[in-house]
Amino acid sequence: MKNKKLHHIKSTGFKIPEDYFESLESKVFSKTGQPSILSGHDSGFTVPKQYFETIEQAVISRIEDKPATKVRSLFTKKAVFYASSIAATIILLLNLSIFDKTPTFDTLTTETVEDYLIDENVSSYEIASLLLEEELETGMTLNVDDDALEAYLLEHADIETLMIE
């Protein structure tokens, strides 16, 4: 009978004060030689008067001031600087002759060619070397007006030289 009762007694009946284990270490700690500081748990830190009354408003005003996400302006000083630099470079390049088309033979005036040949001292032999023999024999025909030829010979040609040739 006694044994049967015993099986039903699961609890010891002992109880401990609430938070006893939580405070046990502090109690022991306070008796280990530094009771003046360790019993009071005063860190020595203080707070300005009214701080806790004003902190909420400070947080709220910061929340209201700041947008939820950072908005990046497209027109920052840096961006404007870079864009201006690029635009200036393009304009400069367009004004430079590097984009000029290479002149074709057809666009050259006769005067330009004439001036070039005179300035560069190109001899008749050098010009002849650029032409093929067939071109010299068959293709080269002079369609010069007789009056113009006469006028040219009167102005430039040396009669004596012509007579020798």
Identify the helix (H) or strand (E) that includes residue 90: helix 77-95
| 68 makes contact with other proteins (CB under 8 A) | yes
Taking CB under 8 A as the criterion, the residue among 24, 27, 31, 55 binding other proteins is 55
Radius of gyration of the chain (CA): 54
Sign of CA dihedral 145, 151, 153, 157: negative
* Rounded least distance, CB 78 to other proteins, Å: 23
Q: Is 22 one of the binding residues for other proteins (CB under 8 A)?
A: yes
Near other proteins by CB under 8 A: residue from 1, 14, 56, 161: 56
Our CB check for other proteins shows the closer of 53 and 158 to be 53
Residues 87, 93: Cα–Cα separation, whole Å = 10
Query: Do 29 and 38 contact (CB within 8 A), yes or no?
Result: yes
Distance from C-alpha of 76 to C-alpha of 86, rounded to nearest angstrom? 16
User: Does 62 sit near other proteins (CB under 8 A)?
Assistant: yes
- Least Å distance, CB 35 to other proteins, is 11
Give residues in contact with other proteins (CB under 8 A).
Answer: 22, 25-26, 29, 32-34, 36-37, 41-48, 51-52, 55-56, 58-60, 62-63, 66, 68
